[in-house]
Amino acid sequence: MTELRHLVTLVGELEGRPARLDKLRLVAEWLRALPPDDVPTAVAFLTGRAFTASDPRVLGARGLPEAAAPAAGPPLELADVAAAFAAVAEAQGPGARRAREERLRALAARASDSERDVLRRIIGGEMRTGVSDGLVLEAIARAAAAPVEAVRRAALLVGDLATVADLALRGGAAALAATAARPGVPLLPMLAEIARDFDEVLAAHGGRTALEYKYDGARIQLHHDGARVSVWSRRLSDVTRSLPDVVGLARGLGGAPFILDGEVVALDPAGRPLPFQELMRRFRRTHEVEALAREMPLAIHFFDCVMVDGRSLIDEPYDRRWEALARVTDGAHLAERLVVEVADAARAFFARALAAGHEGVMAKDLGSPYEPGGRGKRWLKLKVAETVDCVIIAADRGSGRRRGWLSNYHLAVRDGDGFADVGKTFKGLTDVQFAAMTARLQALATGDDGYTVRVRPEVVVEVAYNEIQKSPTYPSGLALRFARITRIRDDKGLDQATTLAALRLLYERQFATKGRPEP
């Protein structure tokens, strides 16, 4: 069995090797030397996950408790850590929090200082070694002497690098080639790029495109093999128990075995979409689910069919997949859709989507295949982005490709004579801007704990967001969802930044078209 210290050694070597090829070689050699039974756990830990991506369990821990004494007991193995994490995740009911802390404290007591550091990184979900999932994928191919494209396609179909590594290192290229989409195994969802206008869309799609409402809900993948129904989230978590109404709907559909792609939206009593944050209550609930389902009904909007009658449609064009979807659903529960050839018709459809309380529209190339995990111009999204002017009050040190930069910015709005946190973002700047912003913020530093640098409020940035949410985390009570910097506003002083009062008004304004959550 593999001892945790070997992972610690690898992490140290990866941190000391900035060159990507060196990192690739180190990871491939490490994977090749692992006992087969340790491969899935090792890949999960290396990519900053307590569990494999296809495992629905959530650790539910804030961090690793301190252990004052030196490490005691036999050396920790990866299997020991996996067993401890499983016990933490499975702790339920009264006293669960104490049980989790005691189990993690016992784990920390057996670990050395360097092992505790790596455990904290896994629990925190970020290894900070500069090793991306893409690099791990290439390392799997090298370790198994398999074609990179075979590993990549298997990863798209399985959606879990740990499972792919297990297949590749046990069965090589033959096992990878035999991988196929199958009900019960979630695929990475196909993604879209942002478009600026409908002229750009029509040019990209050859003068004809299919528009669909872009619902402000949660992506789901619905699997039915004829006996069992399973529902998977965008992040490939199993949410079947939380969505019994979706399961019931699936049992009434034909075409099984099938895999459908869609979006669920929470509705208020008047049938208007509720904010995304309210919908997440449904996804997190595992007890008294039926009561919440009655209190907060869901609308489901299907927009793609990846498999029907047990036949994969991944490589079929979008228009044929839509035809199959219409047959499976008998035309019900489909996304609002219109095929257009002129920009004026597209703009009218876009206006209808916004008036109905939705985010905007999706535009899809009628001839495009389904590309699990792919993002490109075959699917485009258009929406109205709201912006506010925030002040950067702190920044976290970057990792991976952003190592050496201050690149995760703490955003705040004005609140009287001070500033109120409303979120963080690492999105929106170019590499050149990251480097310049790092130098600028370091000159404004007022405190540094080794990870976060507090800065004197001075830099104002324009921030786009999808929605303003209630937040139990920030004293402001609000948080920007999907915040991203659109401009550095050197033309604005602190007195021109958005105020907390103004942000509260923007929060209220959202309910002109959305349903309001219950208090």
The residues that are catalytic are 214
Of 78, 131, 140, the closest CA to residue 107 belongs to 78
Residue 503 to residue 507: CA distance in whole angstroms: 6
Q: Give Cβ neighbours of residue 111 (< 8 Å, ≥ 6 apart).
A: 4, 67, 71, 76, 119
Three-state SS at 138? helix
Owner of token pair 């923007």: 506
- Residue 277 φ then ψ, to 5°: -60, -35
Sheet of strand 218-224, all strands in order from the earlier edge strand to the far edge: 229-233, 218-224, 258-266, 298-308, 311-312
CB 412 within 8 A of CB 460: no
CB 494 within 8 A of CB 391: yes
Would you report the helix, strand and coil content of the chain in percent, each value rounded to 5? 40, 25, 35
Of 34, 29, 33, 35, the closest CA to residue 13 belongs to 29
Residue 15 to residue 115: CA distance in whole angstroms: 15
Rounded to 10 deg, the angle between the 78-90 and 4-15 helix axes is 100
CB 288 within 8 A of CB 364: no
Three-state SS at 45? helix
